[in-house]
């Protein structure tokens, strides 16, 4: 018997952009620049160790999108909606760290309802929300670990699906 056809198996992963940043301010600035590429319906997954800079990047996204309210970690509320102040899409900022299950557990957040008119950014979303959209942007933030004052971050951006084929991710490295 043949396995059922899965569109996810045919998903195109666009070439990644890779950057090295040396401060939280540069991470936030990357978020502001990345926000210029985002549009309603975009799903962004942020992955990285605790303290890697995921929320700092999300803060920059919020600034770049011109949304209301300070973008802070939604760890204890799971999700926050930041409406646009400039007529653009709202930012839905989700922290899936405390959620163990996949999309079924995320269903109560109604992300599938929010996605078409918002930019949905999910920290710790790998393996949990990919089924929300065949088009998504994976942002992986690596930091130097251990007892160090080294603020370097290696950021990898990988577009998944046709939406990201010509989205301009390579221009973020300039």
Cβ neighbours around 95 below 10 Å, total: 23
Position with higher pLDDT, 145 vs 31: 31
- Sheet containing 43-48: give its strands across: 17-21, 153-160, 136-143, 43-48, 118-123, 90-95, 79-82
Q: How confident is the model at residue 168 (pLDDT cuts 50, 70, 90)?
A: confident
Mean pLDDT calculated for residue range 53-79:
88
Q: How confident is the model at residue 1 (pLDDT cuts 50, 70, 90)?
A: very low
pTM score, whole prediction:
0.84
> Is the CB of residue 57 less than 8 Å from the CB of residue 38?
no
**Residue 13 pLDDT exceeds 80:** no
In this predicted structure, what is the pLDDT of residue 95?
A: 84
**Residue 108 pLDDT exceeds 80:** no
What's the pLDDT tens digit per position in 111-126? 655 668 899 999 988 8
In this predicted structure, what is the pLDDT of residue 106?
A: 54
């Amino acid at each position: 018997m043949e396995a059922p056809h899965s569109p996810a198996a045919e998903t195109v992963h666009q070439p990644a952009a890779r950057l090295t940043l040396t401060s939280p301010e540069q991470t936030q600035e990357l978020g502001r620049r990345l926000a210029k590429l985002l549009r309603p319906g975009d799903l962004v997954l942020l992955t990285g160790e605790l303290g890697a800079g995921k929320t700092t990047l999300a803060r920059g996204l919020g600034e770049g999108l011109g949304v209301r309210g300070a973008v802070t970690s939604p760890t204890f509320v799971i999700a926050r909606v930041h409406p646009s102040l400039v007529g653009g899409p709202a930012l839905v900022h989700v922290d899936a760290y405390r959620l163990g299950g996949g999309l079924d557990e995320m269903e109560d957040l109604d992300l599938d309802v929010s996605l078409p008119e918002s930019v949905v950014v999910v920290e710790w979303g790998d393996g949990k929300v990919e089924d929300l959209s065949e088009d998504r942007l994976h942002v992986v933030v690596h930091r130097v670990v251990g007892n160090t004052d080294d603020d370097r971050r290696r950021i990898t951006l990988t577009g998944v699906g046709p939406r990201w084929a010509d989205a301009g991710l390579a221009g973020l490295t300039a």
